[in-house]
Amino acid sequence: MALSFQDLRLSSSLLSSLHELGYETPTPIQAESIPVLLDGRDISAQAQTGTGKTAAFALPILSRIELAKKEPQAIIITPTRELAIQVAEAFQSYAKHLKGFHVAPIYGGQDYQVQLRALKRGVHVVVGTPGRVMDHFRRGSLSAQTVKTVVLDEADEMLKMGFIDDVEWILQQIPHEHQTALFSATMPSSIQTIAKRYLNDPERIQIKPTTQNVGTIEQSYISLARNQKMDVLTRYLEIENVTAAIIFASTKNCSQEVADKLLARGYGAAALNGDMNQSMREKVIGQIKKGSIDIIVATDVAARGIDVDRITHVINYDIPYDAESYVHRIGRTGRAGRAGKALMFVTSRERYLLKDIERSIKQKIQQIEPPTIAEMKEKRTEALTEKVINIIAKSKKLGPYQQLVLDIMAKSNDEPVDIAAAVMYLMEQANPMPTEEIQAAKPEFERKHRGKPKRFRGKPSGGRSESRSRPSGGRSEGRGKRSFKDSKDGYGGKRKTFKSNAPKGRAKSRSRAN
Ligand code: AMP
């Protein structure tokens, strides 16, 4: 049985925030780090962006914070101003129910006065870039005396950017006993040296790779921006021969939101998540087994152990946090030796996770392009042709319509082929083809712009462009089921025009700012 947040001894106000954010279970890095950090021990964790590492250190810090003491009790050092802001926002959202909690991001490029005022007012947590934290220590506006926990976030990035001496200087300012947590995607020797020098008997945390075989499932991924996910998903469902699909979302809110949007777009879809009780979940599983719905949008916990033969496709709408969940998710298709396809959406910020998964399954996952308009046209034409031929061969209800064609011919002198073409044109108007192609995200953007490690003072230079934003919980209305069997050609039935309200990915660029 997987660990829950309750098992992690987190306070009830933190549990409420996590519930509201739609977090269902701790990610592997959270499950391993939180208990150790709550015990006050040091950790050295190998974890990348996207694994949930921010909550892995923020939740135990918040659990131990003394709200009555308005003094810096934890300092988080981050390589960039954008990460500092993002981490500070994460603290704020987890601390939603901690009355009087204050966190201050302090980073280069921002006016000192703003930061001085925030520090003077009294803050419990400071999140900052190395240079600016150093400056505040030197000025005396930030004191190390009260600090109980120091977190080095993305330590290898700080090394690459040439900040490691500053980081050491900061660590030397806190001579008294305190807790240190080091998070780094990689562990080059200089980071290991820092760990040896400044960490006290740390617990080493690394998420174990899995060796499970994923056999014959055809695996692919699409590189995209977060706000393109819904459009790419519906285009993919349209061009693929899907009998039934499981779509995996990272949070309960997201699973509900995607299911609602699919319903609004005419698909027979339902959410399956930890907010539903056992009998509701069983009902949904029964529906997909019978074929009364064709898509479930699930979270990992809720989908555990689902065994439905009809599932031809698994779509990772949100990338899983580790290779083990990936293998578990895609194993929901290709049951009993049948063919199955697995697709994964990967934003540029999540490419590290993709590489990890590939390493663990010892297999390259093929990158594919978002479906094109030409592919959608071809699919619609194919489906329509098949449907028309079938109706002519089998339906006994065409009599009145034949009479209608004859009447139109008599009235207009048009040929039957023109009348048929006009009818098809009218059908397409009810469900128009998109007019714009979706361009795949360019994943290498960040690397090209990163350049050599050196100190940088000045304007942001661009960088990572995507981050998983918090679920918005927005729901869209609309019912009207669309089954793959009947109307997947997209010509039949009423369709609502639908404006995507997918949560916009925070398109912040990361910069060296100190
Ligand atoms: P991070 O690796 O800290 O940048 O987190 C990546 C994303 O995962 C963030 O958008 C978090 O809000 C989200 N996240 C973190 N922990 C969980 C969890 N246990 N369940 C669902 N989403 C999470």
Render pLDDT for 395-404 as a digit per residue (tens, 0 to 9).
888 999 999 9
What pLDDT is attached to residue 209? 44
Average pLDDT over residues 135-140: 95
Calculate how far, in angstroms, residue 52's C-alpha sits from the geometric centre of ligand 1. 4
Q: Which of these ranges, 90-99, 113-122, 236-245, 306-315, has the smallest mean pLDDT?
A: 306-315
Ligand 1 pocket check for 147: Cβ under 6 Å: no
Global pTM reads 0.61
In contact, 41 and 179? CB cutoff 8 Å: yes
What pLDDT is attached to residue 337? 58
In contact, 5 and 16? CB cutoff 8 Å: no
What pLDDT is attached to residue 471? 35
What pLDDT is attached to residue 484? 53
What pLDDT is attached to residue 446? 42
Average pLDDT over residues 17-36: 93
107-117 burial, b at 16+ Cβ within 10 Å, e below that, comes to bbeeeeeebee
Render pLDDT for 206-216 as a digit per residue (tens, 0 to 9).
865 444 446 67
Nearest atom, ligand 1, residue 53 CA: 3
pLDDT category of residue 109 using cuts at 50, 70 and 90: confident
Render pLDDT for 260-299 as a digit per residue (tens, 0 to 9).
999 999 899 999 998 898 889 889 999 999 999 999 999 9
Residue whose Cα lies nearest atom 21 of ligand 1: it is 23
What pLDDT is attached to residue 258? 98
Kindly report the average pLDDT of the chain as a whole number: 84
Average pLDDT over residues 138-153: 96
Render pLDDT for 385-395 as a digit per residue (tens, 0 to 9).
998 999 999 88
Using the structure block, give the residue that is written with the tokens 């269902």: 24
pLDDT at 45 > cutoff 60: yes
Ligand 1 pocket check for 49: Cβ under 6 Å: yes
What pLDDT is attached to residue 470? 33
Average pLDDT over residues 114-120: 93
pLDDT at 510 > cutoff 60: no
Residue whose Cα lies nearest atom 12 of ligand 1: it is 470
Residue whose Cα lies nearest atom 22 of ligand 1: it is 23
Higher per-residue pLDDT: 504 or 294: 294
Residue whose Cα lies nearest atom 14 of ligand 1: it is 52
pLDDT category of residue 443 using cuts at 50, 70 and 90: low
Task: Name the token pair of 405.
Answer: 């064609």
Ligand 1 pocket check for 80: Cβ under 6 Å: no
Distance CA 364, CA 377 (A): 30
pLDDT category of residue 503 using cuts at 50, 70 and 90: very low
What pLDDT is attached to residue 305? 65
pLDDT at 479 > cutoff 90: no
Q: Which of these ranges, 15-29, 33-47, 267-281, 322-336, has the smallest mean pLDDT?
A: 322-336
Task: Name the token pair of 474.
Answer: 């927005």
pLDDT at 360 > cutoff 60: yes
All structural domains of the chain: 29-206 (3.40.50.300), 217-371 (3.40.50.300), 374-430 (no CATH)
Among 435, 473, 481, 474, CA closest to 264: 481
Nearest atom, ligand 1, residue 251 CA: 21
Ligand 1 pocket check for 26: Cβ under 6 Å: yes
What pLDDT is attached to residue 335? 66
**At CA 186, angle to CA 4 and CA 144, rounded to 5?**
75
What pLDDT is attached to residue 3? 83
Render pLDDT for 172-196 as a digit per residue (tens, 0 to 9).
999 789 999 999 988 999 999 999 9
Ligand 1 pocket check for 81: Cβ under 6 Å: no
Task: Name the token pair of 469.
Answer: 């934003």
Would you mind telling me the total number of residues written for the chain in this entry?
514
What pLDDT is attached to residue 17? 96
What pLDDT is attached to residue 118? 93
What pLDDT is attached to residue 321? 87
Distance CA 405, CA 422 (A): 11
Render pLDDT for 308-354 as a digit per residue (tens, 0 to 9).
889 999 999 999 988 888 988 998 887 655 679 999 999 998 999 99
pLDDT at 256 > cutoff 90: yes
pLDDT at 60 > cutoff 90: yes
Higher per-residue pLDDT: 160 or 132: 132
Check the CA dihedral 473-475-481-485 and report its sign.
negative
